[in-house]
Structure 1
Amino acid sequence: MKFSILIANYNNGKFFKSCYESLLNQTYQNWEAIILDDCSTDDSVEIIRNIIDKDYRFSIFENDKNYGVGVTKSRLIELSDGQFFGFVDPDDAITPNAIHSSVKAFIKNQDVVLTYSKFIRCDENLTPINTPKLTKQIRNNDQYFFNCPVQIVNFTAIRKDAYEETVKIDSTLRIAEDQDLYLKLYEKGKFKFINEANYFYRMHNGGISQNSNKEKSREYFAKVIFNTMKRRKLKMINGKKIPDQYNTPSDIYTLLEYKHSRLYRLKNRIHVYIELLRGL
């Protein structure tokens, strides 16, 4: 079964060599890598073409103008041939076992539509700094799950036929498009946590979700959560009314404050434990 690695690039060609080498080192061999450049203003395309050279497993395409990450990722999925796919940023890298672990989980359980793992936070040179502990198995089949606090992070992999059942990526989003997609997929099947650190996340000034973009990410994510509440036709959360219209991020995050309580976290762990005993 083929796995499609999808790479949306904008001005990150200078980091791509590490990403490329990590793909060559995969233990799972049936994969393709599709790169779509979102009209970079630097020499990214030339750099990437020189790196991939004539390797038939790699394909590179270019947008005719800068559309943003929502449109670019949507087009990448359309270009892919794999039964499964996962996004890797061109400035990041994955471990040799990343693809194999995901494919194995999909084959073992046909109800699993998305897998995710832990990630390794790295400096600008991709030297590991630490492995955050926020990622763990989430509770499935919970209409009040919004991935807030965030637990689903890279490396994520998706079953393509499940993606086709959703309304797909919101191409208008330039930030939090991944969280929007995760919440849509959550409504189609189970999520499986792979207890491995399979993704190297590079910290640098050009990162789309880093530094000055953090506040924008927070607002976009709040809108994604609000849209999810409406899509699920929810009226109340923990005794509080959901606004009829989106106003501010704080209106949304306030509704979810109960998820930080010790009692909620304990109940949630019990539900996850029972689910794991049933063989997710």
Structure 2
Amino acid sequence: MKFSILIAHYNNAHFFKDCFDSLQKQTYKDWEAIILDDASSDHEKKIVQEMISKDKRFKFFENEKNSGVGVTKSKLIELAEGEICGFLDPDDAITPTAIQQCIDIFRAKKNTVLTYSRFMTCDQDLQPIAPFRSAMQVPNGDPYFFNFPIQIAHFVSFRKEVYEQTEKMNPDLKIGEDQDLYLKMYEKGKVQFIDDTNYFYRTHQGGISQNDNKKKSHEYFAQVIFSTMKRRGLTMINGKKIPDHYTGAEQIFGLLQYQHQLPFRIKKKIKITLQSIFG
């Protein structure tokens, strides 16, 4: 079972060594790394290409022009030859057993379409700061699950064959494209949490989620959730009408505030427990 690591690269060669080294250390050996460069400078591309030149498992591709993360990640999945895919940012890294743990679940549980674990927030030198504590097993098969608050996060892997059955990743999204992917995959089968910290998430000024786009992420995520509501054919949620057309993040997130309340959280925990017992 081949695993395709998908890397969308744009002028991050300075940090790529840690990413590269973490893949070299994987205990699971049947993997490929697909790098799609989104019109980086020639200098940046050369650094990456020289680094991977001696390992045939790395494949380097280029966009003709800067196209953004949605387009780039969509193309990466198309380029993947593996049965299982997982995204890894070029400025981040994974633990040596990260791929093996994913593969073990996909082999054992045929109805699992997506796995995810916990990430460690790190400084710009990839030194740990704190784990993402919200990561946990979510209830499966719930049409009102929107990953809000976020629980499914890095390290995520998924079956490419099942992805092909979805509407696929939205290439127009510049932020939130990962959440869009998770919710579409969620609708096709079971998702499984790996209770380990398998991903090192680097925070630095050049990161896409730490630059000016961070201000827009709330809006993009709301659009993803609204699209999910429509795709699932929902018209009401918790007794409130879902608008016919997108009106803004405030209204969409307002519809989901009940999911923060204690009665809902207790019911969710019971459902997760029962699913873990009875499958």
Q: TM-score, normalised by structure 2?
A: 0.98
Distance in 2 (CA, whole Å) between partners of 1:274 and 1:210 is: 38
Residue 205 of structure 2 corresponds to: 205
What is the alpha-carbon root mean square deviation over aligned residues?
Answer: 0.9
Residue 241 of structure 1 corresponds to: 241
Residue 89 of structure 2 corresponds to: 89
Residue 38 of structure 2 corresponds to: 38
Residue 76 of structure 1 corresponds to: 76
Partner of 2:219, secondary structure, is helix
Distance in 1 (CA, whole Å) between partners of 2:97 and 2:187 is: 28
Q: Unpaired runs of 5+ in structure 1?
A: none
| 1:5 maps to 2:5 | yes
Distance in 2 (CA, whole Å) between partners of 1:27 and 1:135 is: 24
Q: Unpaired runs of 5+ in structure 2?
A: none
Residue 278 of structure 1 corresponds to: 278
Deviation of the 1:278 alpha carbon: 1.7
For 2:97, the aligned partner's letter is N
Partner of 2:212, secondary structure, is helix
Residue 15 of structure 2 corresponds to: 15
| 1:151 maps to 2:169 | no
Distance in 1 (CA, whole Å) between partners of 2:230 and 2:2 is: 35
Deviation of the 1:81 alpha carbon: 0.6
| Sequence identity (%) | 57
| 1:253 maps to 2:253 | yes
Matches within 5 A, 1:100-249: 100-249=100-249
Partner of 1:225, secondary structure, is helix
Q: Aligned pairs, how many?
A: 279
- 1:83–1:161 CA contact under 8 A, matched in 2: yes
Residue 24 of structure 1 corresponds to: 24
Matches within 5 A, 1:51-66: 51-66=51-66
- 1:122–1:202 CA contact under 8 A, matched in 2: yes
For 1:148, the aligned partner's letter is F
Q: TM-score, normalised by structure 1?
A: 0.98
Distance in 1 (CA, whole Å) between partners of 2:160 and 2:153 is: 18
For 2:240, the aligned partner's letter is K
Q: 1:42 to 1:148 in 2, by over 3 A?
A: farther
Partner of 1:43, secondary structure, is helix
Deviation of the 1:42 alpha carbon: 6.2
Which digits, 9 at most, give the CA deviation of each residue in 1:106-148, with x for residues without a partner?
Answer: 1111110000000010000000111121000000000000001
- 1:34–1:80 CA contact under 8 A, matched in 2: yes
- 1:11–1:42 CA contact under 8 A, matched in 2: no
